[in-house]
Every structure is written in structure tokens, then in C-alpha cells.
Amino acid sequence: MPHLQIRLLGKISIEADGQTLDGFSACKVQEILSYLLLYRDRPHSRETLAALLWGDCPTEKSKKYLRQALWHLQAALEAHKNRGGSGIGLSVEHDWVQIDTHPTMWLDIAVLEQSYALVQGVPGRDLDPQQATSLQSAVEVYRGDLLEGWYQDWCLYGRELLQNKYLMILDKLIGHCLSHQQYETGQRYGALILRYDRARERTHRQLMRLLYMSGDRTGALRQYERCVSALREELGVQPDKLTLALYEEIRGNYLEKYTAPINQMMTADAATSLPEVLGRLKELQALLARVQHRVKRDIKTVELGLKAYKH
């Protein structure tokens, strides 16, 4: 049985077992199918569809064009079904139209939306392995924005919604990478976010931290400079206090290493062994001792300065 695969992210693609399906090349057929798939959870009135797709035509003409386009779409779907294919159908009533999908159909936006729904309210650092894998799959299917090259109002609106979900997924994966010491992978996710929003200050901070933790202090400081430039050029503002504080910690070389909670590191399915956990705790203990020493030294310096000032 040919398995149907539909991609709406990037350039539209409708295939069965790797072969492009016939009958879907007409622009309006693609547009109706894409709209119905984007909002596949509900029926749509014929009147709304006609006005949406042929808004510049009189009502009767737009309804006529809709009937013709629906006929061509149904014919293409029937041809796929007659070849032994399955995965999608079209429910057409007098006033309503809805797409019928089957679990055998693969749809890229469904992968993205399901992954996003799975982790709503879950911080990136708290993702379990299944959730992290699901988000990674969503990133892999995001070949581009929704229906690139299309500029219909409904498409622009849907594009923005899906892009925001994609960016949120990347943000959560960065948090996951920080908590699992996957610094290089986290940097790749951060770079993907900045392609869409180069002035996203939170992402610049995450990249500064990831670079520093990976041993690239110079790279972290340069990332701060890129952040300053992006904020100035895009928004005409300076970095906020959180970014400035992080920069000072990195410049002073006393940024604390991000460590997952001990109960997270000791879960039964964690890859980290107990000797490794003990090693991390000892590293943290040594780091705290160094920070404490520096604080005492700075306090002493300030006290000496105050005494000299009084005299």
C-alpha cells in the first residue's frame, strides 16, 4: 500500500512512496488542500472557502470556481485510492467541506504541532528522553517556513504561528542541551533561532553560556558583541541587566557551570553513572571553593580601600 507523505514546510510536496502524485499540480487545488490540512480539525463552510480563495470575484463565480477545484481535488484523491493508496479523503457536503486524514498519512506540520503540544509547560531542562527526541524530530522536518513563496493572508498567519512553535521548540532544546552538557548541539539550535530573529536577546545569552561551558570563553565574549550589535541595529536598544551580568561573569571567568539537579542525574534511565555524578559534585565543590576565595579576596580589597580612604 503506497504511503502518503505531504510536506507543507518549505516547498509543497505530495508523494506516495517517494513518487510525486499526479493531479495536484493546479495552484488552487494545492491551495485548498493546504488550507484544509492546516485546519484539519474542523469543517469549513463553502462560502468561507470561496471568499478566502476567490475574494476578488463575485459570490456566484467564486462558488463555481470552488466547486471545480473541489472536483479536481476529489478526482486526484480518488485516483490515489484506486492505486491502492490511503491516508486522506475529502468529506464534501452541501454547505461544508473537511479533510479526512488517516494514521497512515505522514504530514510534516502534524509532527511539529504534536511535538509542541507534548512539551507545553515543560521547561527545556526538565524534558525527558522521549520529549527531547520528539522535539528533535520536529526540528528535522522543518525544512522551511509554511508554503514558502505563498503570500495569501491565511498562509502568512499560519506561517507565523508555526514559526513561533518552531522557535519555542528550539529554545526548549537549548535548555535540554545545557542541562545535559551537549554544548555544541545547543549552539546549532541557537544559530537556527538567530536566523529568524537576530535580536532575540535570550538566545544570545544561551549561546554565550553554551560557548563558555564548551571552553570557548573568547567565543562567548564575541557572542555578546554580536548581541549588542543586533539589538542596536534592529531595535535601537542596549542589552538588559541579565545579559550584562552574564557578560561580566564570563569576562571575569567565574561563571558557574550549569549542572542538572542531583535527582535528575540519578534516575534509573540516566546515562550518567554514579562515579560520574560524584565527579561532577566534586567539580562543583571545587568551583564553589574558588568562588568563595575570590569573594573573600574582593571583600578584603574593598576593606583596605575604605581604610585608605578614611585616612
- Spell out the domains of the chain, with CATH numbers in brackets: 4-104 (1.10.10.10), 107-252 (1.25.40.10)
Residues 97 and 91 sit within 8 Å (Cβ to Cβ): yes
- Residue 185 sits at the vertex; the CA angle it makes with 182 and 189, to the nearest 5 degrees, is 130
Under DSSP, the state recorded for 55 is: T
| Rounded-to-integer distance, Cα 195 and Cα 224, Å | 17
Under DSSP, the state recorded for 57 is: S
Q: Helices 217-234 & 241-251, crossing angle to 10 degrees?
A: 150
| Rounded-to-integer distance, Cα 196 and Cα 160, Å | 11
The residue with cell 459570490 is 59
Residues 213 and 164 sit within 8 Å (Cβ to Cβ): no
Question: What sign does the CA torsion over 247, 250, 252, 254 have?
Answer: positive
Predicted pLDDT of residue 61: 93
Question: What sign does the CA torsion over 163, 164, 167, 169 have?
Answer: negative
Under DSSP, the state recorded for 132 is: H
| Rounded-to-integer distance, Cα 114 and Cα 134, Å | 9
| Rounded-to-integer distance, Cα 291 and Cα 285, Å | 10
The three cell numbers locating residue 205: 545569552
Under DSSP, the state recorded for 144 is: S
| Rounded-to-integer distance, Cα 2 and Cα 281, Å | 54
Residues 99 and 40 sit within 8 Å (Cβ to Cβ): yes
Does an H or E element contain 97, and which? strand 96-101
Phi, psi of 9 (to 5 degrees): -90, 120
pLDDT (tens place) for every residue of the chain, 311 residues total: 557 899 999 999 999 888 898 889 999 999 999 999 999 999 999 999 999 999 889 989 999 999 999 999 999 988 888 777 777 889 998 899 999 988 888 999 999 999 999 999 999 999 999 999 999 999 999 999 999 999 999 999 999 999 999 999 999 999 999 999 999 999 999 999 999 999 999 999 999 999 999 999 999 999 999 999 999 999 999 999 999 999 999 999 988 765 444 445 454 444 445 666 676 677 677 777 777 877 888 888 887 777 776 66
The residue with cell 463575485 is 58
Predicted pLDDT of residue 84: 75
Which residue pairs, CB below 8 angstroms and at least 24 apart, start in 15-19?
A: 16/80, 16/83, 16/85
| Rounded-to-integer distance, Cα 249 and Cα 212, Å | 10
**pTM tops 0.85:** no
Predicted pLDDT of residue 303: 79
| Rounded-to-integer distance, Cα 299 and Cα 50, Å | 74
Residues 260 and 180 sit within 8 Å (Cβ to Cβ): yes
